[in-house]
Amino acid sequence: MTSTDILAYIPSPAQGVWHVGPLALRAYALFIIIGIVVAVVWGDRRWVARGGTKGTVLDVAVWAVPFGLLGGRLYHVATDWKTYFGPGGNPIEALYVWNGGLGIWGAVFLGGVGAWIACRRRGIPLPAFGDAVGPPILLAQAIGRIGNYFNQELYGRATTQPWGLEIYERVDSSGRLDPLNGVSTGIVEKVVHPTFLYELLWSVVVVALLVFIDRRYTIGHGRLFALYVAGYCAGRFWVELMRDDFATTIAGIRVNSFTSAIIFVLAVAYFVIATKGREDPATLKSNDDPDHDNNAGRVGGPDNADQSPSDESGEVEVRGVSGDGKDVRALDETADEKAEEEGSTRG
* Res. 337 pLDDT band, cuts 50 70 90: low
The answer on pLDDT for 318 being more than 60 is no
pLDDT at 334: 52
In percent, how much of the chain has pLDDT > 90?
Answer: 56
10 Å CB burial of residue 109 (0-12, 13-18, 19+) is middle
- What is the arithmetic mean of pLDDT over 62-67? 94
pLDDT at 288: 80
- What is the arithmetic mean of pLDDT over 229-242? 93
Q: Which of 54-58, 174-178, 301-305 has the lowest mean pLDDT?
A: 301-305
Give the containing element (helix H, strand E) for 336.
helix 328-346
In percent, how much of the chain has pLDDT > 70?
Answer: 81
- R_g of the chain, CA atoms, integer Å: 30
Q: What is the dihedral of CA 29, 30, 32, 38, to 10 degrees?
A: 160
- What is the arithmetic mean of pLDDT over 243-262? 82
Model confidence over 166-186: pLDDT tens digits? 999 999 988 899 888 899 999
- What is the arithmetic mean of pLDDT over 255-271? 93
Cβ atoms 184, 168 nearer than 8 A: yes
DSSP character at residue 307: B
Residue of 62 and 75 predicted with greater confidence? 62
pLDDT at 294: 57
Handedness of CA 74, 76, 78, 82 (dihedral sign): negative
pLDDT at 345: 42
pLDDT at 118: 96
Q: Comparing C-alpha atoms, which of 278, 283, 274, 279 is closest to residue 227? A: 274
Q: Which long-range contacts (CB under 8 A, 24 or more apart) does 78-83 make?
A: 78/103, 78/106, 79/103, 79/247, 79/248, 79/255, 79/256, 80/246, 80/247, 80/248, 81/248, 82/248, 83/246
Distance CA 188, CA 16 (A): 16
Beta-strand (E) ranges in the chain? 17-20, 23-26, 165-171, 183-192, 249-250, 253-254
Write down how long the chain is: 347
